[in-house]
C-alpha cells in the first residue's frame, strides 16, 4: 500500500497522469480552447536512456520551426520511454522513465526555441512508458517506444 501511495504521489507531483487514456496535467490550469486541426509533424527516436538530438533531428526541428512560424501553429511535444527499466522495481522504473521522457520533451522544446519558436507556443508532456507503439519483446520494439512525438495544432 505504501508503494502505491508513493507512486500516486510521484504522478501527482510530476503533474501528469494517464486516466481514461488521456494525459492530464494537474499543475497547470489552462482555459478550455477549441483546437481546429492537429498534425503529427515529426517523431524522434533515441538510444536507451538518451535524450540527445542527432544532426537529422536538428534538421527536422528547423523545418518544423519554419512551418510553425509560417502557419501560426502551436506545438505539443510528448516525450516517451520504453519499459527498458522494468528489471528495476516499479517505483524506480517510474522515476527513471519520467525523467528520461521529460528530458526528451525538454530537449525538443529547447531545439524549437533555438529556431525561433516562442516558448509560450510549446507545450511539453512526459508520458514515460504509458503509450507504447510497439511490443517490446525485442530491441526493435523498445527502440520504437523511445521517442518524442511533435504535434502541431491550431486554435
- Kindly report, residue by residue over 97-149, the tens digit of the pLDDT: 899 999 999 999 999 999 999 999 999 999 988 898 988 888 888 889 999 99
Is the pLDDT at 12 greater than 60? The verdict is no
Residue ranges of domains in the chain = 30-154
- Kindly report, residue by residue over 59-99, the tens digit of the pLDDT: 999 999 999 999 999 999 999 998 876 557 888 888 888 99
SS3 of residue 53 by DSSP: coil
Is the pLDDT at 13 greater than 60? The verdict is no
Place of cell 519499459: 83
Of 133, 122, 26, 40, the residue nearest 81 (C-alpha): 133
pLDDT recorded at residue 86? 57
- Kindly report, residue by residue over 19-60, the tens digit of the pLDDT: 333 444 444 556 677 888 999 999 999 998 899 999 999 999
CATH of domain 30-154: 3.30.1330.60
pLDDT recorded at residue 85? 65
DSSP 86-149: GGS-HHHHHHHHHHHHHHHHHHHHHHHHHTT--GGGEEEEE-TTSS-SS--SSHHHHHHHSEEE
In Å, what is the CA distance from 104 to each residue of 7, 82, 98, 115?
Answer: 21, 12, 10, 17
φ and ψ at 10, to 5 degrees? -60, -45
Using a cut of 0.85, tell me whether the model's pTM lies above it.
Answer: no
pLDDT recorded at residue 95? 87
Amino acid at each position: 500500500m505504501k508503494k502505491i501511495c508513493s507512486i500516486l504521489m510521484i504522478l501527482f507531483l510530476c503533474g501528469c497522469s494517464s486516466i481514461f487514456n488521456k494525459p492530464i496535467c494537474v499543475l497547470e490550469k489552462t482555459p478550455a480552447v477549441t483546437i481546429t486541426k492537429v498534425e503529427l509533424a515529426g517523431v524522434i527516436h533515441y538510444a536507451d536512456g538518451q535524450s540527445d538530438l542527432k544532426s537529422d533531428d536538428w534538421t527536422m526541428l528547423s523545418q518544423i520551426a519554419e512551418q510553425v512560424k509560417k502557419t501560426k501553429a502551436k506545438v505539443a511535444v510528448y516525450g516517451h520511454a520504453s519499459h527498458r527499466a522494468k528489471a528495476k522495481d516499479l517505483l524506480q522504473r517510474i522515476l527513471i522513465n519520467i525523467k528520461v521522457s521529460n528530458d526528451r520533451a525538454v530537449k525538443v522544446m529547447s531545439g524549437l526555441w533555438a529556431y525561433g519558436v516562442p516558448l509560450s507556443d510549446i507545450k511539453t508532456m512526459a508520458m514515460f512508458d504509458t503509450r507504447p507503439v510497439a511490443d517490446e519483446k525485442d530491441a526493435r520494439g523498445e527502440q520504437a517506444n523511445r521517442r518524442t512525438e511533435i504535434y502541431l495544432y491550431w486554435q
